[in-house]
């Protein structure tokens, strides 16, 4: 059995082991292949039977060029880089890794919020630059500081990650409201479910944890921002395409949105002309909510289990077949 990892570096830059996958056969690991369609992808797959990818696309053309493929495993929850419908037509299961990042992604979202509230990085930098030592007062702050207790967190998408963030927000003394297409009892124990428009109107902080769909692409746009409180804080470490970035930049410049904390943007890596790069009070990190070693270890373990289950004739976490 031949296995190929097409873009393994972000999953394992050297602090994990590929040994769990080597037990299944002849494993070849490439740090990087291509994030866009390229003949190199099929060339590297060759006659391999199990393909493991994170962001390297697996297109219809690649599948046709590599007729020995039996399984495509995504090193992630998202699998939109794979033509999973065509893979299904060819009888090739596509498997993913669900629920590996619940703790890390919810923690990171709150970290973005706390940085917005306290500007810890900025103030640490100014102290090391000598500003405190030279200050005429015994302390100083360069930005308004925000206390979260009593404020309302509105979470759009109240699944595992949204609910994990809700628990942290409640521990900080916040009121939590949520919008989700499928309310459930565990969610009701943490938050009051409201309509989307109610959430926009009531929340001091809005956090996005929903899947990206055609219906919610560009959800945060000029029209919906107008429904929000003046000075609202926006957090997004779900999918960048949930936000109309020009509209958000406009709202940041006007002050309608006081601040944004983003770990995702519409095109990744970010383009130099992204309007949010010049917007005030906008923290942008390079899609790293998922990346703690513990979280990546769960991806590795689950991928190994996905392959083992497939080889045993009982595939799990299949996203393209019933």
Average pLDDT over residues 62-82: 96
Backbone φ and ψ for 175, nearest 5 degrees, come out as -85, 140
**What's residue 131's pLDDT?**
98
> Are 261 and 144 a contacting pair, CB within 8 Å?
no
Total domain count, the chain: 2
Residue 94, strand partner residues: 72
> Are 110 and 165 a contacting pair, CB within 8 Å?
yes
CA proximity to 308, closest of 75, 89, 71 = 71
Classify residue 321: in a domain, yes or no: no
Tokens of 260: 């944004």
**What's residue 170's pLDDT?**
98
Classify residue 112: in a domain, yes or no: yes
Residues 189, 149 share a domain: yes
Classify residue 212: in a domain, yes or no: yes
Length of the chain: 322
Residues 296, 277 share a domain: no
Residues 9, 94 share a domain: yes
Annotated catalytic residue: which of 287, 296, 298, 317?
Answer: 287
Classify residue 320: in a domain, yes or no: no
- How many CA atoms are closer than 13 Å to the CA of 10, on its beta-carbon side? 18
Cis peptide leading into residue 166 (ω within 30°): no
Q: Among this protein's residues, is 147 annotated catalytic?
A: no
What is the Cα–Cα distance from 248 to 264, expressed in whole angstroms?
14
**What's residue 124's pLDDT?**
98
Tokens of 258: 């006081």
Q: Among this protein's residues, is 287 annotated catalytic?
A: yes
Residues 16, 57 share a domain: yes
- The domain in which residue 194 lies consists of 102-284
- Tens digit of pLDDT for each residue in 92-106? 999 999 989 999 999
Q: Among this protein's residues, is 239 annotated catalytic?
A: yes
Residues 114, 92 share a domain: no
Tokens of 255: 């002050």
Residues 133, 29 share a domain: no
> Are 34 and 78 a contacting pair, CB within 8 Å?
no
What is the Cα–Cα distance from 122 to 40, expressed in whole angstroms?
43
Residues 238, 134 share a domain: yes
Residues 129, 78 share a domain: no
- Tens digit of pLDDT for each residue in 134-185? 999 999 999 999 999 999 999 999 999 999 999 999 999 999 999 999 999 9
Beta-carbon contacts of 321 under 8 Å, excluding residues fewer than 6 positions away, are 88, 93
Classify residue 319: in a domain, yes or no: no
Q: Hey, which bits of 247-304 come out as E strands? A: 257-262, 282-284
Residues 49, 109 share a domain: no
Classify residue 201: in a domain, yes or no: yes
3-state secondary structure of 205: strand
14-50 burial, b at 16+ Cβ within 10 Å, e below that, comes to eebebebbeebeebebbeebbeeeeeebbebbeebbb
Residues 156, 95 share a domain: no
Classify residue 185: in a domain, yes or no: yes
- Tens digit of pLDDT for each residue in 104-120? 999 999 999 999 999 99
**What's residue 322's pLDDT?**
82
Annotated catalytic residue: which of 209, 239, 296, 317?
Answer: 239
Residues 131, 77 share a domain: no
Give the CATH number of the domain where residue 198 resides.
3.40.50.720
- Tens digit of pLDDT for each residue in 194-238? 999 999 999 999 999 999 999 999 999 999 999 999 999 999 999
What is the Cα–Cα distance from 33 to 52, expressed in whole angstroms?
12
Annotated catalytic residue: which of 129, 147, 268, 294?
Answer: 268
pTM of structure: 0.94
Residues 240, 135 share a domain: yes
**What's residue 90's pLDDT?**
97
């Amino acid at each position: 059995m031949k296995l190929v990892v097409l873009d393994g570096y972000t999953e394992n830059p050297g602090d994990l082991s590929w040994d769990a996958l080597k037990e299944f056969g002849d494993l070849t690991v490439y740090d990087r292949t291509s994030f866009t369609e390229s003949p190199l992808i099929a060339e590297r797959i060759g006659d391999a039977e199990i393909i493991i990818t994170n962001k390297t696309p697996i297109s219809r053309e690649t599948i046709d060029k590599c007729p020995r493929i039996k399984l495509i495993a995504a090193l992630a929850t998202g699998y939109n880089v794979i033509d999973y419908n065509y893979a299904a037509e060819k009888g090739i299961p596509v498997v993913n890794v669900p629920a590996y990042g619940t703790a890390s992604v919810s923690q990171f979202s709150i970290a973005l919020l706390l940085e917005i509230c306290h500007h810890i990085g900025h103030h640490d930098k100014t102290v090391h630059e000598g500003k405190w030592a030279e200050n005429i007062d015994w302390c100083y702050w360069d930005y308004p500081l925000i206390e979260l207790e009593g404020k309302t967190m509105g979470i759009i998408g109240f699944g595992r990650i949204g609910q994990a963030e809700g628990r942290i927000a409640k521990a900080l003394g916040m009121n939590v409201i949520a919008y989700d297409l499928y309310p459930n009892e565990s969610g009701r124990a943490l938050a009051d479910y409201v309509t989307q428009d109610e959430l926009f109107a009531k929340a001091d902080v809005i956090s996005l944890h929903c899947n990206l769909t055609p219906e919610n692409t560009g959800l945060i746009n000029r029209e919906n921002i107008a429904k929000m409180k003046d000075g609202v804080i926006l957090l997004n470490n779900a999918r960048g395409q949930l936000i109309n970035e020009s509209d958000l930049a406009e709202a940041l410049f006007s002050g309608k949105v006081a601040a944004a904390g983003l770990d995702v943007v519409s095109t990744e890596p970010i383009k130099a002309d992204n309007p949010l790069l010049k917007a005030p009070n906008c923290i942008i990190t390079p899609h790293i909510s998922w990346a703690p070693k513990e979280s990546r270890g769960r991806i590795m373990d689950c991928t190994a289990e996905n392959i083992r289950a497939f080889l045993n004739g009982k595939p799990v976490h299949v996203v393209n077949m019933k």
